A = this chain, B = another copy of it.
Amino acid sequence: MTAGIVGLGLMGGSLGLALRGVPEIDRILGHDHNPDHGEEALKLGLVDEVVDWERLQQESDVIFLAVPVEGIIKALQNLTAIKPACTVIDLGSTKAKIVESIPPAIRKNVVAAHPMTGTEKFGPSAALPNLYRDKIVVLCDLEQSGELQRETARALFRAIGMKIVTMDAREHDRHAAYISHLPHAISYALANAVMSQEDAKNIVILAAGGFRDMSRLAKSSPLMWEDVFKQNRDNLLEAMDCFEEELRVCRALVKGEKWEELRDWMESAQKLYDIL
């Protein structure tokens, strides 16, 4: 089977490395609109060959779309020359708008997936061989994909060590707003709040693990996250409302010096760890 990967950054590059260990895959083609990324991916051995859009479509049995989510929607409109049985798997962090955008002619070819993994780094050099191993992948609106394509996607994700969860695309987007998109917004805001201080440098010198963890996500690609926020706007705004309300509770308790209630509020947060 020939695999084609569109987008040779962190997600696509890591997938190339992971697919090398899958016996069913005998060739990995790559495509990237940035020629430097293509060259770098070849040098790093992430793919076997970098090809143009036409060859990618003609020769791939499975195509992974690993570009920012607005780019995924554009790519889907341009998949006009794929093999009839081709499985197209998008790896976007949002799902509802992507699923809605799939042209009817290739609806059965496409499987909408969100691998719950990543790092704050990006570009081909960020690729890691075990990025997907033991992680969850959410497959959305699977009943709209063809049977062959469903089975191909399941088999490949299992082969690279992932656990499969299925979900409605809208439900996925609501969950993702809370556990992924909101934390990114918070991390960018925290980094900007510290940077707005006159003595930002002195503050950061003192940073221990807590601050480093909380601000790590703010290193993530703005290009990628601009798209995610755009496509999941309404859910993100709702999650931000909910978070801001909690922060207001905390603020009011601190301001009003209600220390016992503050402790209760902190203790309720710890319940998270009964399930995490």
Residues of chain A touching chain B, judged by Cβ–Cβ distance below 8 Å, are: 116-119, 135-136, 138, 165, 175-176, 178-180, 182-197, 199-219, 222-223, 225-226, 229-230, 233, 236-237, 239-240, 242-247, 249-251, 254-255, 257, 259, 262-263, 265-273, 275-276
Contact = CB atoms under 8 A, between A and B. Distances in A.
A78 to B, nearest CB: 22
Contacts of A240: 247, 250-251, 254
Given A186-B186, A267-B222, A192 B262 contact: no
B222 A263 contact: yes
A175 B199 contact: yes
Among A195, A214, A223, A249, the one with the most B-chain Cβ atoms within 10 Å of its Cβ is A214
Main SS at interface, chain A = helix
Contacts of A191: 269-270, 272
Number of copies: 2
Contact of A254 (B194, B236, B275): B236
Contacts of A266: 188, 218, 222, 225-226
A20 to B, nearest CB: 23
B188 A269 contact: yes
Contacts of A247: 185-186, 189, 240, 244
